[in-house]
Structure 1
């Protein structure tokens, strides 16, 4: 490098690390992140992309903008309540506060009165049992798939699981429940047909299983889709009576996790009803219609839960303190964002939508929301949306904060169902900014 090469003026790493603002940044960022940002600015200067005298300013700007986590909070204006791509259920204020408290040292496995070790997750278990009285006992694992795998491994092992062909479901990202179950060593005995399975089909299958062979009957709610027309399926009550005759447990995977019946989703199974109808074990997800953190919920008889808790996989699938805190607070803390969005004040929501449209000179159009997350497949949640030009969707996603909408044809549809009223002004300003950035031919909103 010649003496008059401007690259000689690039500040050295030690010089930049000694800058007061860089030193202060070390309180919130790791050293390897800080050094990486410094080296990136230096490399840009070496390649002529940045003047040497601007390296320091670039480093400081990058430090100010850097977020330790790459996940960004977004505003869900799609009308889909449990949006898998947006993290499913948003936690309630009570749950958020509980998770923040649990981020430090907490008495997750200690009795503070005695100073001795206590049962992990006991408080979350008590909250579950209080919220679902038909359950004798409960266990929490890290997600719904883990719950089903644990049930198969603990109750059946290499034995037989009897299941309807119409319930061999595949859910998101190519995940297939039959493959999960078989990975535990259990054997599937399929009964009935895709569209029609009767109690007699289960009875015939159970008659084939040799006495003493570990087995169970599994009923799976077909989340994400609906079979209609010439259909038939056995009820939980029918299967419970049949399972008792053969002294086998009945396991019901209801998927999305309603505690009790929900008027907005009349055909969606719930934990309380399924247990009352005779299921020995019910499996559900905590981060869907329950409105809590990701978790696999197992509720049922004391004997079955005890068997599951004693299995070695229960330890491998154990959930962490943040989930336990969030789940307990979800159950004890009142209404959740999910429950509010499922059954909003319709007139108030309509007025909010109309006010926003009027402020933008836009039109309000009918728009059906959805439960999402596999809940209530095909069931509309009637509502409305602000109609904007389709190119606004990308601009809203790239804004700060990002606003995620739905696109339909030539339009971007902004649905306030899942947007807290306190964020209406933020959304309005985001839309105004996006519309200003549109090319003139697409700027019109109505």
Structure 2
């Protein structure tokens, strides 16, 4: 029977001449891609027949029907959006897996205009000559950070690598052992330093590093004292580290040694004034004497993915002239989004930036949205209520900070909660990311926008009816 089944597979040109193929081709708009899919599916089916693992197909027409079903499935998969909207009900503000910071409406609109039309990305409107994209946002970065000069690259990991490669390659960089961190994606400071060609000099211990450790390590080959902000963890107890102002003192006493701090999260807003965490601001680091600082655009800053390098003009100018400046440069949409984000800080309107607003929002403000959701959850069997919990900042920032929040918990029938969380994530439109806690569905309204509440309620009501009806 196997050989006969293989003979049932129609030739490619026969399938191409059918009206079904023509309709699929019109939808796809690319006959070559559709033909390639058809060849792959016929090869797969032939192999399955020969190995006895094919679906139950008993005629030529059944085989033909099966192949068209497979083409339709592949077309559906092809048409499906790869990047989709997700309602973040986890309570983690800077959720790395969900794209970190959501941007302000002003930033979104600026990206739209910049993408839609031509711009002066590298064009000096005044002179009519070629301009530099490094100059587009430099004045705003100077205003918001207090730096003499600044530039933007594609992410903070790139910024760290760039600084080390351009300014310390084949030279020594002194770092405390307690700051040789690993962050998301197995990014290790020691590894990136090795890639850059800089020679790592470790000083101190994991929990204690003193000024004398740096001073003893200084030598003729020392190019840099590097301080790394331990963004995603905190060490407590029997600890000691050398503050930035002492590192700058050491550098001044020992000639032309550069002091560089990787701030990671890059706060422009001083959350400490609101009693939230102990995150140093970029301005504080630069005013303390750091020659250079690097930080992310899409963490506490609340903008697009970017790595920002700010500091002394002497060093920024050297970086701008380096070949890597072109390799690591950002595109016009990133600059557009970052421009509006920085303007909000410059105008004292940081609360217009969603991630900043979410971190600062009081429990009472979150609870008002929780009540809106609760009123719409007219369940038949399930039960919903408002409970207290804590939100996380996320994105490898402020790991010790817990922000009091309000959640809506949903008690389903026994054994249903996990299934609902999975269904809402994989099948709801938009997708919904929620948590499980105490056997219930747990939705933190801190990270749910007001306009998303109706969608969240609709999904929950649908899944109660659907799962109960299974």
The alignment's TM-score, normalised by the length of structure 2, stands at: 0.82
Q: In the alignment, which residue of structure 2 is the partner of 1:299?
A: 310
CA distance in 2, matches of 1:345, 1:32: 56
Alpha-carbon deviations, 1:66-85, whole Å to 9, x = none? 43641222111100011111
- In the TM superposition, residue 390 of structure 1 has moved relative to its aligned partner by 3.4
The answer to whether residue 294 in structure 2 is matched with residue 280 in structure 1 is no
Q: Give the aligned CA root-mean-square deviation in angstroms.
A: 3.1
Q: In the alignment, which residue of structure 1 is the partner of 2:262?
A: 253
1:81 counterpart (76, 93, 112) = 93
Q: Go from structure 1 to structure 2 and tell me whether the alpha carbon gap of 1:10 and 1:433 turns closer, same or farther (over 3 Å shift).
A: farther
Q: In the alignment, which residue of structure 2 is the partner of 1:222?
A: 230
2:175 counterpart (163, 187, 194) = 163
Alpha-carbon deviations, 1:76-123, whole Å to 9, x = none? 110001111111112222222233333354321112444321011422
Q: In the alignment, which residue of structure 2 is the partner of 1:376?
A: 398
| 2:363 and 2:406 in contact (8 A); partners too | no
Q: In the alignment, which residue of structure 1 is the partner of 2:372?
A: 355
Q: In the alignment, which residue of structure 1 is the partner of 2:52?
A: none
Q: Greater helix share, 1 or 2?
A: 2
Q: In the alignment, which residue of structure 1 is the partner of 2:414?
A: none
Q: Go from structure 1 to structure 2 and tell me whether the alpha carbon gap of 1:55 and 1:225 turns closer, same or farther (over 3 Å shift).
A: same
Q: Go from structure 1 to structure 2 and tell me whether the alpha carbon gap of 1:130 and 1:173 turns closer, same or farther (over 3 Å shift).
A: same
Q: Which piece of structure 1 moves more, 42-51 or 420-429?
A: 42-51
SS at match of 1:362: strand
Alpha-carbon deviations, 1:135-185, whole Å to 9, x = none? 010011111111111111122111111111100001123221111112111
Q: Go from structure 1 to structure 2 and tell me whether the alpha carbon gap of 1:53 and 1:158 turns closer, same or farther (over 3 Å shift).
A: closer
CA distance in 2, matches of 1:57, 1:10: 18
Alpha-carbon deviations, 1:363-415, whole Å to 9, x = none? 22222111111110121011021113333211110211110012235232111
| 2:9 and 2:42 in contact (8 A); partners too | no
The answer to whether residue 331 in structure 2 is matched with residue 320 in structure 1 is yes
Matches within 5 A, 1:47-86: 66-67=78-79, 69-86=81-98
The answer to whether residue 142 in structure 2 is matched with residue 129 in structure 1 is yes
Q: In the alignment, which residue of structure 2 is the partner of 1:189?
A: 201
CA distance in 1, matches of 2:140, 2:373: 40
The answer to whether residue 149 in structure 2 is matched with residue 120 in structure 1 is no
Unaligned ranges ≥5, structure 2: 47-54, 378-382, 411-416
CA distance in 2, matches of 1:65, 1:145: 33
SS at match of 2:226: strand
| 2:277 and 2:400 in contact (8 A); partners too | no
The answer to whether residue 118 in structure 2 is matched with residue 109 in structure 1 is no
SS at match of 2:241: coil
Q: Go from structure 1 to structure 2 and tell me whether the alpha carbon gap of 1:43 and 1:366 turns closer, same or farther (over 3 Å shift).
A: farther
SS at match of 1:377: coil
Q: Go from structure 1 to structure 2 and tell me whether the alpha carbon gap of 1:93 and 1:16 turns closer, same or farther (over 3 Å shift).
A: farther
Q: In the alignment, which residue of structure 1 is the partner of 2:440?
A: 411
CA distance in 2, matches of 1:142, 1:376: 23
Q: In the alignment, which residue of structure 2 is the partner of 1:365?
A: 387
| 1:81 and 1:372 in contact (8 A); partners too | yes
1:12 counterpart (8, 11, 15) = 15
2:421 counterpart (388, 393, 396) = 393
Alpha-carbon deviations, 1:4-27, whole Å to 9, x = none? 97969997325458857853653x
Alpha-carbon deviations, 1:229-279, whole Å to 9, x = none? 111111111211221222311101111111131135331121111111111
| 2:93 and 2:355 in contact (8 A); partners too | yes
CA distance in 1, matches of 2:461, 2:44: 35
Q: Go from structure 1 to structure 2 and tell me whether the alpha carbon gap of 1:10 and 1:356 turns closer, same or farther (over 3 Å shift).
A: farther
Matches within 5 A, 1:30-45: 33-35=33-35
Q: In the alignment, which residue of structure 1 is the partner of 2:281?
A: 270
- In the TM superposition, residue 347 of structure 1 has moved relative to its aligned partner by 2.0
SS at match of 2:305: coil
SS at match of 1:369: strand
Unaligned ranges ≥5, structure 1: none
| 2:15 and 2:21 in contact (8 A); partners too | no
SS at match of 1:147: helix
How many equivalent residue pairs? 432
Q: Go from structure 1 to structure 2 and tell me whether the alpha carbon gap of 1:325 and 1:57 turns closer, same or farther (over 3 Å shift).
A: same
Q: Go from structure 1 to structure 2 and tell me whether the alpha carbon gap of 1:153 and 1:6 turns closer, same or farther (over 3 Å shift).
A: closer
Q: Go from structure 1 to structure 2 and tell me whether the alpha carbon gap of 1:143 and 1:6 turns closer, same or farther (over 3 Å shift).
A: closer
| 2:121 and 2:136 in contact (8 A); partners too | no
CA distance in 2, matches of 1:265, 1:354: 25
| 1:264 and 1:381 in contact (8 A); partners too | no
SS at match of 2:407: strand
